[in-house]
Structure 1
Amino acid sequence: MSAEAVAPRADEVAASAPVIFDAIYDPWPTPLAQAAAQAGRTVVNGLDLLVGQAVGQIELMTGRLVDPRLLLAAGRAALSAARQN
């Protein structure tokens, strides 16, 4: 379902589940993520997904564990820099 389709129903969708996964990470927050947070729901975003995938790939390819907080910080910094350009 597209963000445009969900936006008018964000409150209804957010109230439908204890956890909302919104795969978008830019622009953030989406109307759905805002409604879910206001409803006290757990919100997982696309950057969380991307970091989770990266952690798994790094371990698979190198055998090493990486702290997901480092990747999350790098992702946030990259998004911030991209918004400024």
Structure 2
Amino acid sequence: MELGDYRYDTQLLLEGTDLNEDMLSDYILSHFDGDCLLIVGDDTLIKIHFHTNEPWLVLSYCATLGEIFDIVIEDMFRQAAGKKG
């Protein structure tokens, strides 16, 4: 398995009002270094998936837009090495 440049698979749900998938995507891609961005949802609930080396920046930004929950941050480098946790 070949690893990319980004260590953390960052996933979360964002609940708020007047959320916009395109606005979120544009902001994340222009302000945070990463790849494999996937944003799906509607104007009140959005699922975000993003590979980055600085997941805390994405979480901080999303927390300004609403409530974040079901947060999962997985270290893909450790997974590739067969390590748990």
Q: Sort the TM-score into its range (normalised by shorter chain).
A: 0.3 to 0.5
Give the structure with higher Rg (CA). Answer: 1
Higher RCO (CA 8 Å, separation ≥ 6 residues)? 2
Higher normalized helix content (fraction of residues):
1
TM-score, normalised via structure 2 length: 0.32
